[in-house]
Amino acid sequence: MGDIEALIIRLAKDNAALQPAPHPVLLSLKWMGVALAYLMLMLLFSGIRPDFSQRLHESWLFAEMLALVVIFITTSFCAALLSFPDLHQMRSMVFAPVVAFTLFMLVLLVAWQADQPPALTPLHSIECTLSITLSALLPAAWTLYQMRKFATTHYGWAGTVALLYAFSVGAIWLRLYEVNDSIMHVLLWHYLPMSIFALVGWWLGKKIFKW
């Protein structure tokens, strides 16, 4: 008996009825549900910025928040797709976060142009990066843990998308909580670190998704 035949017999003996992984849409909805519950909990403790409803109508904040939510949704769905070795045969969808992120950057660029006279830059700086990072740690760990249960064949991209997803939760929370209208500040201390962490995800993915 050849090695392949022996292996097949061994694998067949190990086969039992398995619960197949849910559809990526369901998986993504589940992950988003958990993230939203976490976000609500965070807001419960921190509170929402007092001028939020007013600012939402007056400024570019609405467009920015909307673009952030699009990043949150697309990265969640893309992370679910990337958990499958064949990307659930929806290959073109895995680049959706790139489109969402470009759209987000465009919104910020236009908002920056429209910020005349420029809003006051807050006194704090790195504190925002630290807050986003700390608040994103739990969603990041949870998402990476969930994705590890499957079998991704795109380690780097899966890591990037997972961290972008987790950091979008942190970024949404801080934008809802912090009283700040300076686009320059959010670009430098919120979204630039978020992008850098997404790149770190490429390296992290290669370390933890091996199977």
Nearer of residues 80 and 194 to another protein, judged by Cβ: 80
175 in Cβ contact with 114 (< 8 Å): no
Nearer of residues 144 and 176 to another protein, judged by Cβ: 144
How near is the Cβ of 7 to another protein at its closest, in Å? 5
The pattern of x and - marking residues 90 through 129 that bind another protein according to CB under 8 A reads ----------------------------------------
Q: Which stretch binds another protein (CB under 8 A): 7-15, 129-137, 168-176, 182-190?
A: 7-15
Cα distance between residue 32 and residue 98, in whole Å: 19
Nearer of residues 7 and 99 to another protein, judged by Cβ: 7
The pattern of x and - marking residues 13 through 52 that bind another protein according to CB under 8 A reads xxxxxxxxx-x-----------------------------
Cα distance between residue 140 and residue 35, in whole Å: 10
Cα angle vertex 145, ends 155, 166, to 5°? 80
33 in Cβ contact with 146 (< 8 Å): no
Nearer of residues 2 and 50 to another protein, judged by Cβ: 2
- Torsion sign (Cα): 38, 44, 47, 53: positive
Q: Where are the alpha helices (DSSP H) in 47-119?
A: 52-58, 61-82, 96-114
Chain residues that interact with another protein, rule: CB under 8 A: 3-5, 7-9, 11-21, 23, 83-89, 150-151, 153, 211
